[in-house]
Amino acid sequence: MSMTLRTTSIDSASHVTRNNRGINWGRLLLYMIAVIFAAAYLLPIFLLVLTGLKSQGEVSLYDMWALPRNLSLQSFVDAWKGSPIAAGLGPNFINSFLVVVPATLISSLMGAINGYVFSKWKFRGADLIFALMLFGMFIPYQSILIPLVRTLNFMGLYGSLTGLVFVHIVYGLPFCTLIFRNYYASLPDEMIEAAKIDGAHFFNIFTHIMLPLSGPAFVLTMIGQFSNIWNDFLFAVVVTNSPASQPITVALNNLAGSFSVEWNVQFAGALIAALPTLLVFIFLGRFFARGLVAGSIKG
Amino acid sequence: MTNKQEGWERWAAILAVTPSVLAIAVFVYGFIGWTVFVSFTKWVTARPDYTFVGLANYQRILLGGGIDSQRFYIDIRNLIGFTVLFLICNIVLGFGLALLVDSRLRGEHFFQSVYLMPYAVSAIVTGVVWRWLFTPGTQQLGATGVNKLFESIGLGFIHPRWWTDPTVWYIHPDTMLGGFLNDLHLGFFTTANWGLPVATFSILIATTWLLSGNVMVLYLAGIRAIPTELREAAIVDGATQWQVVRHIYIPILTPVTLTVVFILLNVAIRLYDLTVAMTGKGPGFSTDTLAFNMFETTFRSGRFAHGAVLAVVMLIFVSAIVIPYLRYNLRLEETDR
């Protein structure tokens, strides 16, 4: 017994010394691991920037990791404006914005209304309908693509950006509804009861009480939808049929698949395509993480 | 408040969700029904042909023995090999990074952001970058990509051919395990039909880069929710750091692990964008996936009915994990109240 006690006290004593004077090797090791992983995770982005900044003459696969001698933005210009060999990504970048902005706003707003009903105005069967709706978030979209193309054709929306906006609204509804439902469920019911006593109705309560409080949920759905839609490839490649209406992911994939386009131009294009979501991440990263947790832990 | 008013408001609530509910009813459930129907028809050209052919398409792809069913089983092989490695890598790495970030490092927010950052990047961009990183170069002209990096730090003897390598690792019938399987009349497993294509590792590393930060965030949220008293009490009782992780963290984090497994399985089954940008179907179909196969069969070859069969198979796989997960989660929520 006394032995154990003594070892414990020696342990804690040595711990104190280590903290005060010497190097704490355990901590140092942790830092080293953290730094090595950080370097590995940053490597691809580093390579994108590095290559993008090289001048045409310096670009060689065999000197991929060499630092640029003369800084040049030519690859970005080529990727954006196009060159004699390949069309530029500029118009596609704008297409992506034209799809992302309306789709994000409308699906978030519809999600807010749905979430309001599914949390505060539950009718009979509301929970079941909500569960059935959530299922739509997880299906492999391959299982609806064939009918989707037929239907969009029939509606005259196939191949248009409007069609793509419509698709992203519909398939974004489950996610937005989930976020708002869980958020509204955390607000006290008494608030609504009090408003009802004061004579407020269904829509008044939504617009005057719920919406002003909805900031945190809107941030999550907007960031989530923005990055989902910006990064989407499957719907984009199936629904759009001409280079003029393609979002940037599809155009980038075409650029990268073309053997005649230099890989440094591909890299510059990739960086352009990644920039909007990367910027959102850099400035709103903590909401990014929060949205991930909110969107996945609780069904 | 009168009853009449109550009734009116209830209808207003139902009316408010009707557009969304109808949209989901048609665009999810109606379309799934439509796809299932297509899978039973003769529609194998650009022009729709809804002549009913029963299970003929399923027979062709699941049992046919022709090129379509060969490709299907290659996809299944790739899916199994990829999924096993993908789950292990992401859970170990995600959990490890979460512990690392939680160990009160200076600059923990920086590290957390860096590990999560790839998640903001699209799978297409990821595929484009990693394809070049994993372009091995040639003996004559020298190494490129990560192989070049290995070379420059003196690890030049590591020069895999990454995604350009069509080799499939499998249990050889001449080995002891292979002989044993043959004795059990399981000789099927000792062929390249069941194995791990080398090219899978390229896809694996790129997807892990993309998603391990996501896994880390989920574990981190779980770890931060564990009361510190629990940990401190264990430390006071003489538990080592490792014992705390092993006997307190891991059991408490089981629901998080379930969520993580669920998300990762879902990703593995749907794997598409990244392989499109990185390797396509790969040499010898070594990086082919069900989703890639479905897209090619349907929209490139115009064999809609055959594509529909692949889509239905994917849906069945996903449903097998989504339905139990949703039931588990929604029931959990009931007991919360």
Would you call B30 and A140 a contact, using CB atoms and an 8 Å cutoff? no
A159 backbone φψ class: left, alpha, beta (φ>0; ψ -120 to 50): left
Q: What is the mean pLDDT of chain A?
A: 87
pLDDT per residue as tens, chain B (337 positions) = 456 667 788 899 999 999 999 999 999 999 999 999 999 999 999 899 999 999 999 999 999 889 999 999 999 999 999 999 999 999 999 999 999 999 888 888 999 999 999 999 999 999 999 999 998 887 777 888 888 888 888 888 888 888 888 888 888 888 888 888 888 888 778 887 888 899 999 999 999 999 999 999 999 999 999 998 888 898 888 888 889 999 999 999 999 999 999 999 999 999 999 999 999 898 889 999 999 999 999 999 999 999 999 999 999 999 999 999 988 887 766 655 4
DSSP secondary structure code for residue B168 in this structure:
E
Using a CB-CB cut-off of 8 Å, the residues of chain B touching A171 are: 27
Instruction: Work out the average pLDDT over A188-215.
Output: 90
Would you call B31 and A144 a contact, using CB atoms and an 8 Å cutoff? yes
Whether the CB-CB separation of B199 and B166 falls below 8 Å is answered with yes
Would you call B217 and A289 a contact, using CB atoms and an 8 Å cutoff? yes
Instruction: Work out the average pLDDT over A138-144.
Output: 96
Would you call B27 and A143 a contact, using CB atoms and an 8 Å cutoff? no
Would you call A135 and B48 a contact, using CB atoms and an 8 Å cutoff? no
Give the gap in angstroms from C-alpha A202 to the nearest C-alpha of chain B. Answer: 6
CA distance B53 to B41: 5
Would you call A233 and B123 a contact, using CB atoms and an 8 Å cutoff? yes
At B336 the pLDDT is 54
A132 touches chain B (CB under 8 A): yes
Would you call B209 and A266 a contact, using CB atoms and an 8 Å cutoff? no
Assign A22 a pLDDT band (cuts: 50, 70, 90).
low
Domains of chain A: 2-52 (no CATH), 90-296 (1.10.3720.10)
Nearest to A202 among B13, B126, B259 (CB): B13
A286 has pLDDT over 90: no
* CATH 1.10.3720.10 describes domain B67-336: yes
CA-derived radius of gyration, chain A? 26
CA distance B291 to B294: 5
DSSP track, B249-300: IHHHTHHHHHHHHHHHHHHHHH--HHHHHHTTT-GGGTT--HHHHHHIIIII
Would you call A41 and B118 a contact, using CB atoms and an 8 Å cutoff? yes
Give the gap in angstroms from C-alpha B143 to the nearest C-alpha of chain A. Answer: 7
Using a CB-CB cut-off of 8 Å, the residues of chain B touching A281 are: 113, 116-117, 119-120
Using a CB-CB cut-off of 8 Å, the residues of chain A touching B125 are: 252, 270, 273-274
Using a CB-CB cut-off of 8 Å, the residues of chain A touching B111 are: 34, 37-38
Nearest to B23 among A61, A173, A278 (CB): A173
Weakest-pLDDT range from A114-118, A195-199, B29-33: A195-199
Q: Identify which of A52-56, A65-69, B242-246 has the greatest average pLDDT.
A: B242-246
Residues in CB range of B268: below 8 A, 6 or more apart: B79, B82, B83, B86, B87
At A174 the pLDDT is 96
- pLDDT tens per residue, range B82-131: 999 999 999 999 999 999 999 888 888 999 999 999 999 999 999 999 99
CA atoms within 13 A of residue B108's CA, in its CB half-sphere:
13
Would you call B130 and A44 a contact, using CB atoms and an 8 Å cutoff? yes
ipTM score assigned to the predicted complex: 0.91
Residues in CB range of A243: below 8 A, 6 or more apart: A87, A92, A251, A254
Which of the residues A31, A35, A134, A142 would you substitute to probe the B interface, choosing the one with the greatest number of B C-beta atoms within 10 Å?
A142
Would you call A292 and B217 a contact, using CB atoms and an 8 Å cutoff? yes
A249 touches chain B (CB under 8 A): yes
Weakest-pLDDT range from A94-98, A227-231, B241-245: B241-245
Residue with more model confidence, A59 or B15:
B15
Using a CB-CB cut-off of 8 Å, the residues of chain A touching B127 are: 256
Q: Do the strands B142-143 and B168-170 form a parallel or antiparallel pair, or are they unpaired?
A: unpaired
**What percentage of chain A exceeds 70 in pLDDT?**
91
Weakest-pLDDT range from A6-15, A224-233, B215-224: A6-15
At A147 the pLDDT is 97
Instruction: Work out the average pLDDT over A10-34.
Output: 65
Nearest to B209 among A41, A136, A263 (CB): A41
Domain ranges of chain B: 67-336
Instruction: Give which of A250, A229, A81 is closest to B124, Cα–Cα.
Output: A250
At A18 the pLDDT is 42
Nearest chain A alpha carbon to B291 = A142
At A2 the pLDDT is 32
pTM of the model: 0.90
Nearest chain A alpha carbon to B145 = A64
At A299 the pLDDT is 36
